[in-house]
A and B are shown apart, each in its own frame.
Chain A
């Protein structure tokens, strides 16, 4: 079982719709959770971090964390073509992951169609 898994893409949504990206993790002791956006040819850009159960909203982005289910998601409201990118879920901390290193999922490619 991979440590961090994301739903396989590519995910295609029409402009203005809600894009839903999902991620599960295997280390129950994980403490910090992140969503990075990566445009083609660019480095990952941090868009959301979440540390406690529940929802965290920032503009059009909402991150949701459920530690009991070991599940973290990212919702993008009013999706725009500029949101088209690969979204990487990453986790820090846990029983098997010490020292602050990020463990990444394989990424989900999002395409927003005009």
Chain B
């Protein structure tokens, strides 16, 4: 499976500021995803980051608040803008993988996450 790293692993930020989270994969992948996990909750998809095109955002998430870049097939960034305490969450990137050569059965692996606390 792909090896995924995220930076930073954690941060404490002041409200009104922005934080950019980086996601790096050790192999080229077509689809990368950004998820949010609020305290005590399950994971919710923020957006799908596609190389060469704008990210696709889920209902409730907007580009002005969560701008995403995908400059190549191994890297993506998520920015959390104008932060408030409600943005305190774990932010996770994931990548799509097809374990079987030539197969269509997909799976997804997650990076280690970025733990964000907004004061």
Contact = CB atoms under 8 A, between A and B. Distances in A.
B107 A44 contact: no
Nearest to A32: B106
B51 to A, nearest CB: 14
A80 to B, nearest CB: 23
B42 A107 contact: yes
Nearest to A88: B42
Given A32-B105, A100-B31, A102-B33, A43 B111 contact: yes
Given A104-B43, A105-B42, A43 B105 contact: no
A105 B112 CA distance: 20
A7 to B, nearest CB: 14
A23 to B, nearest CB: 12
Nearest to B107: A49
A105 B96 CA distance: 19
B28 to A, nearest CB: 16
Contacts, number: 57
A51 B44 CA distance: 22
30 contacts: A32-B105, A32-B106, A32-B107, A34-B107, A42-B112, A42-B113, A43-B113, A44-B110, A45-B110, A46-B1, A46-B108, A46-B109, A88-B42, A99-B31, A99-B56, A100-B31, A100-B33, A100-B48, A100-B106, A100-B108, A101-B58, A102-B33, A102-B43, A102-B45, A102-B108, A103-B45, A104-B43, A104-B44, A105-B42, A106-B42
Interface of A: 32, 34, 36, 42-46, 49, 51, 88, 92, 99-107
